[in-house]
Amino acid sequence: MNQGLTIDQDATAMSAKSSIDNITANPYDALFSSVIGQDYYLLKQISPFAAEMSRLVGVTVSKFCADKTVPVSVVELGGGTGITSLSILTADEQLSLLSIDNEPIMQNQAKLSLQQWVDEGRLSFSEKDALSALQSLNSNSVDVIATAYTLHNFESNYRKQVLAEIFRVLKPKGQFINGDRYALNDISAHTRSTQNEVAGYFKVLIELNRLDVLEHWIIHLFNDESENHIMREALALQQLADAGFKQINLSHRLEVNALVTAVKE
Ligand X SMILES: C[S@@+](CC[C@H](N)C(=O)[O-])C[C@H]1O[C@@H](n2cnc3c(N)ncnc32)[C@H](O)[C@@H]1O
Q: How far is the CB of 103 from ligand X (least distance, A)?
A: 3
Shortest Cβ 3–ligand X spacing (Å): 49
- 140: three-class secondary structure by DSSP: coil
**Cβ partners under 8 Å of residue 77, min gap 6:** 100, 130, 133, 134, 145, 147, 150, 151, 162
Using the minimum distance from each CB to ligand X, give the nearer residue, 79 or 174.
Answer: 79
Which residue lies nearer to ligand X by CB, 91 or 106? 106
| CA atoms of 47 and 108, how far apart (whole Å) | 22
The 3-state secondary structure of 52-96 reads HHHHHHHHHHHHHHCCCCCCCEEEEECCCCCHHHHHHHCCCCCCE
The distance of closest approach from Cβ of residue 244 to ligand X in the complex, given in angstroms and rounded to an integer, is 22
CA neighbor of 106 nearest in space, from 30, 33, 210, 28:
33
Closest separation in Å from C-beta 31 to ligand X: 6
CA atoms within a 13 Å half-sphere pointing along the CA-CB vector of 162? 26
CB of 162 to ligand X, least distance (A): 8
State the nearest-atom distance from the C-beta of 130 to ligand X, in Å.
4
In the chain, how many H helices and how many E strands? 12, 7
Give residue number: closest CB to ligand X: 80
CB of 143 to ligand X, least distance (A): 19
| Residue 84 or 261 having the CB closest to ligand X | 84
Question: Could you list the residues that contact ligand X (CB under 6 A)?
Answer: 32, 54, 78-80, 83-84, 100-103, 106, 129-130, 148-150, 153
CB 68 within 8 A of CB 60: no
Closest by CA position to 211, among listed 35, 30, 26: 35
Name the residue among 38, 200, 5, 35 with its Cα closest to residue 106.
Answer: 38
Nearest residue (CB) to ligand X, 4 versus 50: 50
